[in-house]
Chain A
Amino acid sequence: MLVRFFTDLRAGGIPVTLPEFLSLLEALEARLANLSPEDFYYLARLALVKDERHFDRFDRVFAEHFAGAEKLFEKLVAELPDEWLRQLSERLFSEEEKRRVEALGGWQKLLETLRERLREQKGRHEGGNKWIGTAGTSPFGHGGFNPEGVRIGGAGRHGRAAKVWDAREYQNLDDTRELGTRNIKLALRRLRRFAREGAAEELDLDGTISSTARNAGLLDIRMQPERHNAIKLLLLLDIGGSMDPHVRVCEELFSAVRAEFRHLEYFYFHNFPYERLWKDNRRRYSELTDTWKVLRTFNSDYRVVFVGDATMSPYEIQMEGGSVEHWNEESGRVWMQRIAAHFPRLVWLNPEPEDRWHWTPSIKLTRELIGERMFPLTLDGLDRAMRELRHRTPLTAPRVSQD
């Protein structure tokens, strides 16, 4: 039964390995969990899940698995003789509760209701009503049923009667980003420029030899800082709308970039950059950053990488008020020219296939605006883009066709 849980977890996208599973078994053998599903849940999570972003997935798999156990419980209840259940209830239910059982229509009715509620509970998501276990309101709330270690309801020992894994409290920590980013990281390495800065902690061998010699042979140790990648990167990402099919490749790029660069800043925009950018997509209407501020904050040695499909109506670039979302006082082309003038080293990565660029007027416009420095978001394109960024090209004024 537990082996199936293990395979279910793996199928659910949690990278559980055999040693971790074995350590869970070891923990169970050491009697760390006392046959209560909560203890087992905590223990299993402790041993098997190593990243809080996976907690939500774990909760879902656990709930699914537990649903099977619930069915088992239903079967058991159906098979148990009524007399036995009644005896059990004598011990578990208070007088008042027994009266309420009667009020509900006796045991038959109670069991029916219980089954019904179990079914209802299964379909529920977090935030719903607590059908079973809300102290004092349900006749099942206080009775602890415990066949096969499955406890339903029961007075929550901690005041929370809802099942912990059903609460799915880790929902917004989950991200389903796949980390297939090694190739991208390798391409990004082109953009490494090492520089020594920070604390001096490496032996500078040449320096030591020469200064010892100068010191008449008495040792004089010289230290120097370690080398780090000193490239500064500003990432501007198009989000939403036509970018939706490309989300995955953008996420991969983003996660690789984050790992590779020490100095990394990023902002989002929709379709084309205008006077405001934002950092958090959930708060894109409340936490906006002035594009002027971005230009002031980051100096020209930042390399700028745009990621976007540049596929839109040409009005969105050319006209004031052309933005699909708001009234922009100045056109997108003005903003793009400002950005390109401030950051001489700039590229645009486009997830659309290169052979289609020719047919989209807005791509053509964008390429003109940034001086043809657009590359496809493929490994090869990334490689070319990194070469472009590496050159210390003096600013060539972007060729802009006047209309």
Chain B
Amino acid sequence: MREARFTGTERYVATPDLMMAVNAAVTLARPLLIKGEPGTGKTQLAEEIARSLERPLYEWHVKSTSKAQHGLYEYDAVSRLRDSQLGEEKVHDIRNYIVKGRLWEAFESAVQPVLLIDEIDKADIEFPNDLLRELDRMEFYVHETRELIKARHRPIILITSNNEKELPDAFLRRCFFHYIRFPDAETMEKIVRVHYPDLKAELLREALTSFFNVRETPGLRKKPSTSELLDWIKLLVAEDIPPETLRSDDPKKTIPVLHGALLKNEQDVHLFEQLVFLNRRTGR
């Protein structure tokens, strides 16, 4: 029926299981819940799906204070009250004070849109439960105007979570679930290639070796992720670091240049330096 299939884009490397997840969610019109380490491109995925399938993208970034109702609509009672005291004309029509949310906008889209509900775990624990009916039936009721808003096309819904809170079972049952694993060396090479097609093979190899080496350091508070690797490589290119600088007989004994892009807190940097120092001493 629908021929459009997501196979990654020139800017985004998708693994086969991720492609399967996206295509299944698109075909069966189920929300797709994406989890994974920070910096593995969860949010970017929605943009890339929208781009590759040529659909409009609606983003709803959830905060700790977000309520499910914010996504549907809000009734701005305060300004109506104020307008009534000032004797404004538009006060007589309640519609003037209904502010549409992202979900409503997505429902009204003329073509099937992509809706991203970003970081759903940031919100209150009841938040996902309040969206069950809306995600299931793709409709909601506006009490103030007594209208039923129905989606013109079931949006492709992507939900990301960083695991800060457990999501309720009833909500999970309605979603497909995909966990983005941290890419292996091979996939990582593809990802870097996609972002820096002109990068010298030698530099890439050395950079990846150091990177995975840093990641394997036991006890890091925050392991460097894909996005940090990309930043680091950007720096290496900008500073024109020759690949030889990164290479050494034993990578455990040297601190990679510009490591500030990879390690983001001082305890980690300290720990790493100590380990390197230790290795140097014992390695002799």
Contacts and interface: CB of A to CB of B under 8 A. Distances in A.
A219 B85 contact: yes
Interface in B153-203: 166, 169, 172-179, 181, 186
B173 A32 contact: no
A26 B16 CA distance: 20
Interface residues of A, number: 37
Contacts of B172: 50-51
A259 B125 CA distance: 10
Contacts of A15: 169
A230 to B, nearest CB: 16
Contacts of B20: 32-33, 39, 42-43, 46
A52 B85 contact: no
B131 interface: no
11 contacts: A19-B173, A32-B27, A42-B20, A46-B17, A47-B176, A49-B177, A50-B33, A50-B177, A52-B35, A157-B16, A158-B16
Interface string B19-31: 0110110011010
Contacts of A201: 65
A135 to B, nearest CB: 14
Given A15-B169, A17-B173, A52-B35, A159 B24 contact: no
Contacts of B178: 46
B173 A50 contact: yes
A47 B17 CA distance: 12
Given A17-B173, A46-B177, A221 B78 contact: yes
B219 A287 contact: yes
B175 A50 contact: yes
Interface of A: 15, 17, 19-20, 23, 26-27, 30, 32-33, 38-39, 42-43, 45-47, 49-52, 55, 157-159, 164, 169-170, 199, 201, 218-219, 221, 259, 283, 286-287
Q: Which 3 A-B pairs have the closest CB atoms?
A: A50-B172, A52-B179, A42-B17
A200 to B, nearest CB: 10
A203 to B, nearest CB: 9
A318 B33 CA distance: 54
Contacts of B23: 32
B163 to A, nearest CB: 8
B227 to A, nearest CB: 20
B179 A43 contact: no
Contacts of B174: 19
A357 to B, nearest CB: 35
B259 interface: no
Contacts of B264: none
A19 B173 CA distance: 7
B28 A23 contact: yes
B28 A169 contact: no
Given A19-B174, A38-B16, 13 more contacts: A19-B173, A30-B27, A32-B23, A32-B27, A33-B20, A46-B24, A46-B176, A46-B178, A51-B172, A52-B35, A158-B186, A201-B65, A219-B82
B179 A20 contact: no
Interface in B73-131: 78, 81-82, 85
B283 interface: no
Contact of A46 (B21, B35, B219): B21
Most buried by A among B20, B33, B81, B175: B20
A51 B177 contact: yes
A42 B16 contact: yes
A19 B171 CA distance: 12
Nearest to B27: A30
Contacts of B169: 15, 50
Nearest to A218: B85
B118 to A, nearest CB: 19
A201 B66 CA distance: 10
A169 B181 CA distance: 9
A47 B178 CA distance: 9
Contact of B218 (A45, A52, A157, A286): A286
A23 B27 CA distance: 12
A38 B173 CA distance: 23
Nearest to A158: B16
Nearest to B82: A219
Given A219-B82, A283-B218, A286-B219, A55 B179 contact: yes
Interface in B49-89: 65, 78, 81-82, 85
Contacts of A49: 177
Nearest to B165: A259
Interface in B1-36: 15-17, 20-21, 23-24, 27-28, 30, 33, 35
A43 B219 contact: no
